[in-house]
Structure 1
Amino acid sequence: MFMIRWKNIKIPQWVIHLLLVLNMGFYVMIATVDYHHLYYKDYWLAPSKANLNGYTLEISPAPMYYVYMAFLLAEIMTTIGIIISSYCSQRSMPNKGKIHFLMIAAMLSPMLLLSLRILKILKGDDPTPLGILLSCIFMSIAVVKYGLFDPVKNAKNYIIDNLKEAVIVTDADHRFLFLNSMADKIITSINKEQGYSTDDKIYAFIQGSQDFFDWKDRHYQVEETVLKDNELIQGYMMTIVDVTKIIEQNHLMKRLVLQTEDANRAKTNFVSNMSHEIRTPMNSIVGITEILLRSRHSPKEQEYLLNIQSSGRVLLTIINDVLDCSKMEAGKMQLFDEPYDTCSLFHDLRISMENRIGHSGLELIYDIDQDIPCKLKGDMGRIRQVIINLVNNAIKYTEKGSVRFSVHVRQKNTDKVMLYYEVADTGIGIRKEDQKILFDAFQRVEMDRNRYVEGTGLGLTISQNLVNMMGGVIEVESEYGKGSRFFFTIEQTIIDPTPVSAVNYNGQKDNVTEKEAECLFIAPEAHILLVDDNELNLVVAKELLKPLRMQIDTAENGLQAVKMVRGSQYDLVLMDHMMPVMDGIEAAKAIRALPEDKYQKLPIIALTANAMVDARKEFLNAGMNGFVAKPIDFARICNQLKLWLPKDLVRDVPKEEAKKLLADDLSDREIQPEDPQMGFSFEEGVNHCGSKAALMKTIRIFYRTIDSKANKIEQCLKEGLISDYVIEVHALKSSALLIGAVPLSEAAKELEDYGKQGKTEVLEEKTPDVLTMYRDLKNILRPYAEKEEDAKKEFSDGEWITALQQIHQCIEQFDLDGVDQIMEQLEEYQVPECIRESMDQLRVYVADVSMEEIMELTDTMTGLLRD
């Protein structure tokens, strides 16, 4: 048992227990020989032959005596075998030979003398005590002289020997001086397979592998240390570590990383494909809804269509949020640093915020630092996205009070400006514990309270990531029940340091005729609503009314006008007659049917090309107060407005001052050279539009919509939508007359009359010729449109790219109103030559609500501008 413990031999516990039981059994049996004859048959004292005066103990062995002797000899021989095996295998033990020799001598001494006694070679007294004494002497020498049981040394040896790493110590010639158990196991295996005869060859084999070597499906890492004494090399220590599990784990981790990347790619592709697959039918749903909304429907059907449109936009917002989040996870979200106009950004944000607040009753506080440079470089679209996200959240969670948007300069030098953005509200606030998870994906706080608030819980996550990409961090401060404040700071590059307060956007003004000056007045506090489905008519009317300084809102159909009248306080309404969805007469009746008394007194003036007596009666019967014939005459509409606007809002203007206010240059009245075959009179156009500037703007809009409008007329006739056909040719009659294309206007009027009479066959016969005349005007008007193009303000390629990206984003969000606003703003600027043809096509796609085509074309145009 001593040798087993000393050599740390691992054997089953039951073997140890069996040995203990056997030894104890034999000891008890020997101690009780007086009571049985199992061990000795008999024993007695006999006179000693060596000592005449002494006696010798004589025994007569029984069977168990021989059994015990055999057991004892077996134990001793096993022990000697263990010692010999230890000697052969143990390479690392100091004084190995001497210690093992003493241990063998200690074991053999009692065994040898006992054997001689049993074989009767030695006679007389039992020599066993002498053998045990010799054994103790040999053991003592091993302990005292050679430190066999030194606890510190043994502890070190035990620790080193039982390390999982192999440790080898050699002399300067690479002969092994010490090997722990693991090293001995590895060296033995290598020697057995390779047949190396000397230690230095084995060492060279391992050393030759440099840092790593493989052996029997295991991977080992090797590290060698030189052992020196005063710069003299005494030997080497080599550590061999089994790194099989680490390498396998690394391989597993690599596989898992690849699998994760594959899964992420698959997820990203799935989300991208699904978003595309969902967008495709959504394009159809929202696009067709938009088209249907331009036609006449019952109020109930109109409500259904608006609900479809609203739900589609909400769904699209969710799709875009998920797609943006997926792009960020995949590291594919990109920023585009392009020059942008800060005034344009803040203007767009204000419009979006006001539209989002609508009639909720919330106050929008707009605080812009006037020292902000007018032109910066950055990703305007992403900044806008972050602000809109924050403002939308503020509006969603604020029932009353205000939403405040602030931008201030924190630091500024010659090249960079640090802008501080803040969105604050007086809403429900956020608990402290909820603020920790506020920016986590798909997290929404207080779900029991806010379950009816729309959204995916991704808006803040996306915003935080975008701000991080721009070098900032969104922070939040909130007091529960009192409101929240979200703020961040980002650095932008300065392109033009001129502060926004110093930018002057006022255009040059022209002179005016005597007649127009006599009837001019101003009414800056008057708030009127202008209703017309024809964009050209809206442009011309607003241009004509600009000198009056009134606040003018516009609506595209009667139903929209009724809603706006209910939601705002207007002093007068200018209402077109023939419009899709709901015409002017129906809209006037609907307004008069509203319960409050103010709607009975609201002045409504008809704008119509139908000046027949019966039409006038119809207007008056519908509750309108008067009418103005189209094309609009400036003096006539001024007289009508002056008659029906509240007197306290109207201020007369002296004639000379009126001329300056109208500012219509006499050169605008100059007649252009004409060709009798053109079918177009510039003089007629100036007369109808009121000024050359207004006519040129009208020609530009007319020119760019020729293809889309002509296609729409053909489509309505082909599909048998005669009522829509009549509305379209009615609009063509009016717009053609505005620009001075009198023959086309008269032909369109003839088609309108046939359409009202239901003469489809005549329409099918005459429409192609009229549309040919319509399309031929494109070549005639091109010089005027291009001249107007050259007169427009300049717009950098970077600003065009930003605008096109905004159009793309609006289409993704089904914000068709936003697209119209951007397109209207772009008409004020020169179109770069490389995208001029594409811009014409884009106008057609926008008019046709071709969403997929718009997104593809804006991407193409952006690429052309970047190249």
Structure 2
Amino acid sequence: MTFAIEWLALHIFGVLVAFALLVIVFRKEDTNYKGELILTIACCLVTLVAKSIYIAGGQKETLIVIGKMEYLGKCFGNYCALMFIMRWRNIKIPQWFIHTLLAVNVGFYILIATVDYHHLYYKDYWLSPSKAILSGYTLEISAAPMYYVYMAFLLAEIVTSISIIISSYCSQRSMPNKGKIHFLMVAAMLSPMILLSLRLLGILKGDDPTPLGILLSCIFLSIAVVRYGLFDPVKNAKNYIIDNLNEAFVVTDADHHFLFLNPMAENFVTDIKESGSYCGDGEIYEFLKGSQGFFDWNNRHYQVEETALKTDDYIQGYMLTVVDITKIMEQNRLMKELVLQTEDANRAKTNFVSNMSHEIRTPMNSIVGITEILLRSHHSPKEQEYLLNIQSSGRVLLTIINDVLDCSKMESGKMQLFDEPYDTFSLFHDLKISMENRIANCPLELIYDIDPDIPCTLKGDMGRIRQIITNLVNNAIKYTEKGSIRFTVRVRQKNADKVMLYYAVEDTGIGIRKEDQKILFDAFQRVEIDRNRYVEGTGLGLTISQNLVNMMGGVIEVESEYGKGSKFYFTIEQTIVDPTPMSAVNYEQQKSGVIEKEAESLFIAPGAHILLVDDNDLNLVVAKDLLKPLQMQIDTAENGMQAVDLVQRNHYDLVLMDHMMPVMDGIVATKTIRELPDEKYKKLPIIALTANAMVDARKEFLNAGMNGFVAKPIDFTRICNQLKLWLPKELVQEVSGEEAKQLLMNDISDSEIQPENPETGFSFEEGVKHCGSKAALMKTIRIFYRTIDSKADKIEQCLKEGLISDYVVEVHALKSSALLIGAVPLSEAAKELEGYGKQGKTELLEEKTPDLLTLYRDLKNILRPYAEKEEDAKKEFSDGEWITALQQIHQCIEQFDLDGVDRIMEKLEEYQIPECIRESMDQLRVYVADVSMEEIMELTDTMTELLRD
């Protein structure tokens, strides 16, 4: 009995030890083999727990069940230990091997768990007296053949593990604590094997000691992990990286004897030895080092880098890094072949420049379109001139993209000229504005010498002429640091139908050498690159200019004296449309002609319903505003898919379709609409509205089933002509010239604008710049005016209560809103105080805030005439109705009905505010915006009392 108690205590102690080991290992760093060790210890724990219960004793049936539980740990403990050893040595284990080994263990356990139903594992078993069991009896067995097969299988697993450990010991040359680690690993595997062998040989009689052997195995493995850092993740990571790199690493001593080879290097060395060409380590090292850092082997190319391993200038050894560069060399070969494939490259370039044209023209459409909208409004002469200059410069900027486009067209033979009537005054005026803007910051004089006898209207390609002149002038500016640039246009010959024009651009720049003049017109050629390396340019401008002049039947030539300047000139013939001399055109007439020109093509179509399709929100806004005078109903879509859906759900008289859009572009959308089953979809007018400037694009639009084409930026006259052509005739209503002008000039009249005084700190003109139009500014002023008192009080209160972060938020908002209405001094003061607030300079805030508030509150008197114009135009509302509305607001707040408050406030904005509550109404708007519920209830009560008095 005493021995049984001691035997039980020993196993219970083993259970505690196994549990402690499980906790210790679980808390160690993660590795790719930590899980296997945890499972091994868990199997040990299951075995020891079952064994402890078994020692406590029981009936025969009880001991059989406990024995099966004990075998659960035994069967899978060795398997998990073997998996741990293999993963520790980074052996690549095939999945089929893992699954097969696991299946064998599962099969054996099933065999053991079902011993009640067969005699394959045990022939027989019975109770036998035992001093190791508290009940005095243990199970004795008579082994069947499968019992010995299983024992042999367990020994095979253990032997395999020991073999791997011994192999690791022999191959590892630089592992820290190599001997101790491998001794512990071997001891871990031998412990269960020795006890199992002694049990099988009958040397150890009595109870089975195998669970204690498994415990010793887990203890030795855990010592290796905890004491000697078997789980060092950094070391494991380094080893893993080195072993799995697609590069060979060779480490030798100073005499070139191999100390370490990673797997790829081992393959090299093995192949070289088997070839018989080289034998010793030194010979193989010299071969691997290669000639000039390269060598070839088995039809592959390798690059080698040798590194000396030094300590205090003493060479301890060498390391070779061998990289397979076969793919790189193959890629280089392919790259050289691709360079020769110029046809594909040119095709790709054509697609690129087409996309680039679209991307550049899209934002320019917004600029030019908005400018055209602003030109419809009343402006001072200076403002009118500014807007015309913006419009002219914007249109000139659109020609910049043509340099790249034209180069592509010339190479593909698709360059074309389009002869159309053009206004010579507009051409030369636009050129002058562009030139003046270009030299605005340069110390150059622009001499503009235009023959006044040039006919006012000619027929030719105005865009190409402008492009040639722009190229020549830009080059002159680039290469002229001081002096002047002269632009000359002269009539050389003229008859009833034709005029020969001489163009010249002359500068006082650096000049061009005689030898350089020969290559000046070659593509991508730039002269004296070293001297002119800071001058921007692609070398395409002169090439394109020469080709264009040649296509117009002229020749471009150059005269230059090195160091003194250059002169480029050409002569072209143009067809006369209107022989009236250009000098008869007055600039003021030209300015007023913008609206008159648009008025000629204007019509209204209030019954028309059209769909506008564009992926750019700003383009949609500009186009809708541009078409507003036509009084059409306009729906919008952001892509072709939406357009197809809307066309099927609604009736439209016409569709304006952008070309390049996400989801579905305009071409695909048009084809989809045309393929819809109803006949009306085939007749629906679809006009291309696009920035694509390529010549072939128009053909593509027509082939897709589109009816017309309007280029971006949208020209109002052209889009009106297209709409008038394709809208149903019964929907188009003609208007008189005066009516058309009135429709186009629908904005705030100058009589509504108060005389400006610079000392007030407010500029209506400045506000228009920021708001975009007078009407938009008037709306903004009214909103700003209503909150002056409440916002000023809030700024004052925030400073007084030390709420600096809230103070900064308020002055930041004031900075933006003041600038928006044209109160620049107030905006700048708010900006200054915002900076002080962010820096925590409270003293400066206290010193300067009173001045800011004075400036802010003084604006109320200045802005009152603008704000009250709207108030006078509102409908009247009796005091009783106001009282009812205020009481309803009070009730909504009590019921937390904020939506109801918003609805009532929105309704009240339609009515005139009684004088006695105007200031209170401003405050109420602020409280509602801030959701200050208590304040809203108090203020509505106060306002109600004021109205009753």
* TM-score bracket for this pair, using the shorter chain length: 0.3 to 0.5
User: Computing the radius of gyration over CA atoms, which structure comes out larger, 1 or 2?
Assistant: 1
Q: Which has the higher contact order (CA 8 A, sep 6+)?
A: 1
What TM-score does the superposition give when structure 1 sets the normalisation length? 0.33
